[in-house]
Chain A
Amino acid sequence: MVSERDVEHIAELADIGITKDELGEFTPQFNEILEYFDLLDSVEGTSPATRDLTNIFRDDTVVPGLSADEALANTPEKEDGFFKAPRVM
């Protein structure tokens, strides 16, 4: 069982933002879903740490990419050729 406080904490971890009203809605839904997930407790076996597959490598060849202008085209918030983001510190 998760409490409204737990759900608030998860929302904080996920940077998802949640209102008080939504806590009352999401919490019972999570409990119903997590109760269903409990059937995994009885699953036997493990997932193998290695599989019969090998990595597929390729040479690191330089190919044309997006220009800075193309990469920045989808935001109005830019400055001196960079994306502008909210303050981190």
Chain B
Amino acid sequence: MTMDRRSVLGLGGVLAAGVILAPGLRLIAAPEDVTEASDKRRWGMLIDTTQCNPACTACTQACRTENNVPLTGDPERDIHWIRKVELHSKDGGKPDRSLPVLCNHCEHPPCVHVCPTQASFIRKDGIVLVDMHRCIGCRYCMIACPYKARSLVYSTPSIPGTPNRKVPMRAKGVVEKCTFCVHRIDDGGQPACVEACQKEAKGGMLFGDLNDPQSEISQRLRQVLSTTIRPDLGLKPRVHYQGI
């Protein structure tokens, strides 16, 4: 059997590619062993309320499963990291807009300023977090937050049947809130609500780096008319809304 020059070269190329790819053959890259939050990034969200269906609970459900936030059955003490809010017109008409409200991860978060134990803090990449190891459950932050984004754990939570083992439960007597799914972000992923909205709903939620002018969210923020909730408070929230 004879081979012409081209097929020999081609075969060589395929073999070489095989040798290079085979040892580390992985379709989805695993995160590196050591990663660190970078102060060059500012995570933010843009929510297109025109795409938000009042009956849809994809984002809130996804959040509950991802972060082990079960409903307690007592509406006054239920924990919400993200909740659906209906907008009424000022003349008391029917609600005409529905939108999810979550922690706004403000640039100047009042919850962090009032925290007496420094349990609430701003991470380098702008995410506002609660260090559960330090929280004493005084609830100053809940009073300070204008977005009602925080909840107190009133009783020892029941662990869901198939918990997400990557996210710890919270003990009785701490305050908890949305983390922007920090464990997913650190692995290069997206928050669970955003992923669910894109998969199960119309994809009205967009998440990305506000510091990167080339990121999709930065480009969209330049193109569309958007606002934040209560911009007059001067907290500079990083959750932006389009269509309200």
Query: A and B, one complex?
Result: no
